Chain A
Amino acid sequence: MHDANKPRDTRAPVVGENVTRLDGAAKVTGVARYVDDLPAMPGELHGATVRSPLPRGVLRAVMLDPSFDWSDVTVVTAKDVPDNVVQLIVDDQPVLAAERVNHRYEPVALVACADKAKLARAVAAVTLDIEPLPAVFDAEESLLGRTVIWGESNVQNRYLITKGAADADDGEAAFEAALRACDVVVRGEYSTHHQEQLYIETNGMVAWWDDDGVHATGSLQCPYYVHKAFKRCFHLEPEQIHITQAVTGGGFGGKEEYPSLIAMHAALLAKKSGRPVRMIYDRVEDFEATTKRHPSRCIVETGCDADGTLRALKMRVLMDAGAYVTLSPVVLSRGVLHAGGCYRWRDVRIEGVSVATNTPPNGAFRGFGAPQTTWAIERHLDAVARRLGIDAGELKRKNLLAEGDSTATSQVLHGSIGGAECVEKAFAASDYVAKRRRGPIVEGRKARGIGCSVFMHGGGFTGSGERMLKGKVAVDLLLGGRLEVRSASTDIGQGTETIFAQIAADAAGVSISAVSVAVPSTTRVPDSGPTVASRTVMVVGSIVERAAREIAERVEAVRRAGESFAAAGDRLLAQEGPQTALVQYEPPAWVNWDDKRYKGDAYPVYAWMVDVAEVEVDLDTFETRVLEFWSAADVGKAIHPLMCKGQLEGGSLQAIGWALSEEVVWKDGAIVNPRMTNYIIPTALDAPPFHTILVEAPYAHGPGGGAKGIGELPMDGGASAVAAAVEHAIGVAIDHLPLTPERLFAAWARSNSEAAQ
């Protein structure tokens, strides 16, 4: 089956083909090794975490029960941490709480023991003496700053985006004047709630020390995040740190920054005990302690002409960061950058604020701020359409950004703009226009309606991010005409390994079976940047392509007439020694971003998507079922159409779950429902049939003929499409997530009593 020996021009391209995923066989036979499947190392201990039972307080003491046998138990507290800071953006989060606790479940002490049953008793034998302090749980309350829990005012970050009138010296007044001068001004408030990533594999890590330094292997998205955290925490040289990804059972952002913490915890225990330590969270601990999607509250006011031409947008975006900063500045940034939606605005004033609360830090979750602001702008345009008496789909289509238009950050769009085509295709496939016009269908106690959302999502890091990041990839020429791709981009289910192999195979002109992709380990792979921000295919894939092409060119330069690629490659290796192409990413030269004024090319390109949801609301129970879900997405170029659709559908269902059933219930900073039994994600019966249409408006700088990033895109719009459909079905506009039966019933009852008055 090995056709690497064939002359390289006879093979068919694999980009655009649905090749069997390279990790498929291992995953369907059960041999793929996730972190908890790795065999126990000699002398291995199990590790566990002692967490704060209070949301805020002064930590006075960590006390060990003197009647407990601690002889075979290792205990680690803050005083054992060489540099007690989680390295990320702001140095505000300790690896283990030292003097203060700032949220419930905050890690305070660590214990390790060979006997798992005894380990649980050891956790219970640690008592924390904490003097309670007043806590703040609500972002609006935190913004008022009456109780200061973070910094001087609780405010972690602020951004301001201005355009048109708002750019003037007296911007705020000039913008207000422009807004008030509009024919129709509509104001609304929209909020979103926490969401748990709920990857089916919990966070887990194994760590050990040896002569080479420290090793951590586990479930993670970003090996170099962990590497940087270790460098800081343990004051080690980079080459002493070996971070390796095990097969990872889903991430969705939940394994972006969090794994640094659990890896450091395992390594601290391993260091002190001198033994390998395995830490695997159970579901409840994972749910309680790890990051969630930031709750948000957006106040939106817009002005438009009587014919629905949008003119002015004012928005205040408030995000709840939780107790520490973690990635909140970047989440808020992506949130405000997507707050204008995919529409033309003449005047814009978008203000973003993130504040601290005494809840576990919120962090990365697919969409990264954009689902929150997309919810706000899409629901708001539904409200504008209602006011104007026109269909929301028509209003959105009419104002859609097109070639040469400028976004809220004054970025002028050129090329790869598939929005209009997505609208046409999604509307046609779902019969949206006719179904909207026909109105809701009520049969017995069931009401059916249809709704849409239109949105776009920027690929890659924001603004100058990719320029600063300098992601790298290496491709090696191996014997027998084989190539190995070495990158830090992890496959967490989305198919990175397969897609990189496809891209490299076509770029080098070899068979896909001649390409292997290295396990991401900081010892072996260069820093390609993190596996986040819809950047893996579009950004990292583009340098995989360049590196593979470079290797092929070297082989081609020595290849004799009639000689196979493999033979030429082997000769090159024999004569010249190892052949590695190390390529660094360079964003397109025209990308111009002003970080101070928040203006310019926020992202080099956007992927576009239109969702149409058809729902049925039970008028007795107020349960909402999504009956069918149509999407059209402009992905630039689908490297692997089947996996591309799988990403879009999986993301859409996460959005539907966020809209309808997923709700983290809080009481005094604690989570009431940290289980799969009471935090309800959709099952196969809750999920609608997905009808997914791929639109390809190629991006000139994307790999494989124009691929754009789509990993996060589907998370952005599903909730607002569902809410629009519910509104169509029962005539009640819901502006606050989630649309659980209780909330829907309350809103319906309220609207009926208002109508009666």
Chain B
Amino acid sequence: MKVALKVNGVQRHVDMAPLARLLDALRGPLGLTGTKEGCGEGECGSCAVFLDGVPVNACLVPIGQCDGCEVVTVEGLAAAGHLAPLQACMAEHGGAQCGICTPGMLIAAEALLRRNPDPTPVEVRTAIAGNLCRCTGYERIVQSVLHAAHELRSTEKGAAE
């Protein structure tokens, strides 16, 4: 099946069986290996991507449903060679250790900050509860997201003034 989709702002095409996973399309023909597979059954969140703005586990999405959709992966979070504040905070505040959960974690956190720019620690924990991390104990991930939220708010405030 031929599928046309926009990936990180670029129009792309793949030709795959309709039940092939979006994850395999991304990691295979589309060459975007930043999205990781941890369990293959929607439990760990390592393969989270935005599909039409909604965070989904790419291991559970058939490519046949992605025709005409817009996908944003971890590779699409950095703007023009600069780390997005969320990415920078994750690297600086201990949110990434082994890094394998980080791409999915970033997508979940980005989704949170888009709808809630000033989250509480519990709201951060709830937002990333579908993303498993075995390294950090989550404390530094939560702190990283809170730092990023703060930074984004100050930038916006600065821009508004």
Query: A residues within 8 Å of B by Cβ?
Result: 18, 20-21, 23-34, 36-37, 197-202, 247-252, 282-283, 492-495, 642-643, 645-646, 649-654, 675-677, 681-685, 687, 689-690, 692
Within 8 A of A (CB), among B31-88: 32-41, 43-44, 46, 73-75, 77-78, 83, 87-88
Say what secondary structure dominates the interface of chain A: loop
Known pairs A248-B98, A675-B39 / 8 extra A-B pairs, C-beta < 8 Å: A28-B106, A29-B34, A30-B73, A199-B100, A249-B99, A252-B134, A646-B137, A684-B126
The 9 residue pairs across chains A and B that have the minimum distance between CB atoms: A30-B34, A493-B98, A24-B91, A249-B100, A27-B99, A649-B137, A37-B33, A653-B137, A493-B97
With A200-B101, A646-B97 in contact, do A684 and B92 touch (Cβ < 8 Å)?
no
Find the residue from A25, A30, A31 having the highest chain B CB count within 10 A.
A30
B132 near A681: Cβ-Cβ < 8 Å:
yes
A25 near B83: Cβ-Cβ < 8 Å:
yes
A492 near B98: Cβ-Cβ < 8 Å:
yes
The residues of B that contact A36 with a CB separation of less than 8 Å are 27, 33, 37
With A25-B83, A200-B132 in contact, do A676 and B38 touch (Cβ < 8 Å)?
yes
With A28-B106, A200-B132, A250-B98 in contact, do A645 and B38 touch (Cβ < 8 Å)?
no
Per the bound structure, the CA–CA distance linking A492 and B134 in Å amounts to: 12
In the assembled complex, how far is the CB of residue B151 from the closest CB belonging to chain A, in whole angstroms?
Answer: 14
A27 near B132: Cβ-Cβ < 8 Å:
no
Which of A37, A198, A646 has a CB less than 8 Å from the CB of B134? A198
The residues of B that contact A25 with a CB separation of less than 8 Å are 83, 87, 91
Find the residue from B39, B75, B77 having the highest chain A CB count within 10 A.
B39
Residues of B in contact (CB 8 Å), total: 55
Interface presence of B113 (CB below 8 A): no
Interface presence of B119 (CB below 8 A): no
With A29-B74, A29-B75, A200-B134 in contact, do A676 and B41 touch (Cβ < 8 Å)?
yes
With A642-B93, A649-B140 in contact, do A676 and B132 touch (Cβ < 8 Å)?
yes
Per the bound structure, the CA–CA distance linking A251 and B12 in Å amounts to: 36
Which of B34, B36, B46, B142 has a CB less than 8 Å from the CB of A684? B142
In the assembled complex, how far is the CB of residue A660 from the closest CB belonging to chain B, in whole angstroms?
Answer: 14
In the assembled complex, how far is the CB of residue B76 from the closest CB belonging to chain A, in whole angstroms?
Answer: 9
The residues of B that contact A681 with a CB separation of less than 8 Å are 132, 134
- Count A-B pairs with CB separation below 8 Å: 171
Interface presence of B18 (CB below 8 A): no
Closest A residue by C-beta to B126: A685
With A675-B43, A677-B43 in contact, do A29 and B36 touch (Cβ < 8 Å)?
no
Query: B residues within 8 Å of A by Cβ?
Result: 27, 32-41, 43-44, 46, 73-75, 77-78, 83, 87-88, 90-94, 96-103, 106, 121, 124-126, 128-142
Per the bound structure, the CA–CA distance linking A363 and B92 in Å amounts to: 33
Which of B78, B125, B128, B139 has a CB less than 8 Å from the CB of A29? B78
The residues of B that contact A649 with a CB separation of less than 8 Å are 136-137, 139-140
The residues of A that contact B126 with a CB separation of less than 8 Å are 684-685
- CB-defined A-B contacts under 8 Å, sample of 8: A32-B99, A200-B38, A249-B99, A642-B140, A681-B132, A684-B133, A685-B126, A687-B125
In the assembled complex, how far is the CB of residue B106 from the closest CB belonging to chain A, in whole angstroms?
Answer: 7
A21 near B34: Cβ-Cβ < 8 Å:
no
